[in-house]
């Protein structure tokens, strides 16, 4: 019997998840069906419960429902709890279990696919929104020499630092800092509006990798700034997208799909 999965969002037409999971299923021999569900704003809970009642096994969650899904969960993994939101659910009887796969996906893309281990490196993350909250713990646990946050609202960065104090030290980057970092990650929404986040002077000095969590935008203003500063490796979030989906697939099905070929097919040259 075919197992049903879906991605919930509004809008959701742009989602690549059905294509990604169809590829995973074909390559691993899993009998699943994966669709898109555009739930009405204010009607997410009803749509989710209906999907589960009709035999749905699990789902991915995208904007604007990640907080709504988290609130509906009856079981929450540590990754989801620390993120304060969820992008992945699975159903077991009356249980709704919430997970967050973004951080693991990002870390795997950086370390495995791009070949830039974080251990003993100085890492800067720009932003302090939901994407950064979801990614912070796995990055911190990778053992960087320094993991710093820079956000235009320092209070949000401070909240993430304090939330993860038991797991390691996060520093707050001084916007006037002139010392560079080994790896600089853009977790702000600036690339969606084709703008560049505020960057400290010299932030790219000695930088080996500049990574924009947004994907499919080509050479974003952030990546252009890194390129102009001579950063040798530029990447966008397409690898993170595929890897977080692979983590969700593994959580649902107990089998890990290959990702390298799909990432290569989906990657837009950054020129």
Residue 156 annotated as catalytic = no
**CA triplet 160, 165, 171: central angle to 5 degrees?**
65
Instruction: Find the distance separating the first CA and the last CA of the chain, reported in whole Å.
Output: 46
Can you tell me the distance from the alpha carbon of 69 to that of 131, in angstroms, rounded to the nearest whole number?
16
Looking at residue 174, what DSSP letter applies? P
Query: What strands lie across the sheet with 171-172, from one edge to the other?
Result: 171-172, 146-150, 122-126, 183-186, 209-212, 233-236
The DSSP bridge pattern shows strands 32-38 and 3-9 to be parallel
Is residue 148 classed as helix, strand or coil in its secondary structure?
strand
Can you tell me the distance from the alpha carbon of 24 to that of 250, in angstroms, rounded to the nearest whole number?
10
Catalytic residue among 66, 121, 176, 217: 66
Can you tell me the distance from the alpha carbon of 8 to that of 47, in angstroms, rounded to the nearest whole number?
9
Q: How far is Cα of residue 181 from the mean position of the Cα atoms in its chain?
A: 21
Catalytic residues: 66
């Amino acid at each position: 019997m075919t197992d049903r999965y879906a991605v919930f969002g509004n809008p959701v037409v742009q989602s690549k998840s059905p294509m990604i999971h169809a590829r995973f299923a074909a390559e691993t021999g899993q009998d699943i069906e994966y669709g898109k569900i555009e739930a009405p704003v204010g009607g997410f809970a009803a749509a989710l419960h209906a999907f589960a009642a009709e035999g749905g096994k699990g789902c991915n969650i995208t904007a604007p429902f990640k907080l709504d899904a988290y609130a509906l969960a009856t079981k929450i993994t540590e990754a989801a709890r620390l993120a304060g939101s969820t992008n992945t659910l699975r159903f077991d009887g009356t249980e709704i279990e919430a997970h967050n796969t973004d951080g693991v996906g990002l870390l795997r893309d950086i370390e495995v696919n791009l070949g830039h281990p974080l251990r003993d490196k100085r890492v800067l993350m720009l932003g302090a929104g939901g994407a950064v909250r979801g990614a912070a713990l796995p990055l911190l646990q990778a053992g960087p020499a320094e993991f710093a946050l820079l956000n235009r609202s320092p209070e949000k960065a401070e909240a993430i630092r304090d939330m993860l104090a038991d797991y390691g030290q996060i520093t707050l980057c001084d916007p006037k800092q002139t010392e560079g970092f080994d790896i600089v990650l853009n977790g702000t929404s600036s690339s969606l509006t084709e703008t560049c986040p505020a960057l400290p002077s010299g932030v790219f000095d000695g930088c080996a990798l500049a990574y924009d969590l947004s994907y499919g935008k080509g050479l974003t203003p952030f990546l252009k700034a890194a390129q102009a500063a001579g950063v040798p490796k530029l990447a966008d979030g397409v690898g993170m997208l595929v890897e977080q989906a692979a983590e969700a697939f593994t959580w649902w099905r107990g089998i890990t799909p290959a990702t390298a070929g799909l990432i290569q097919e989906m990657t837009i040259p950054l020129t």
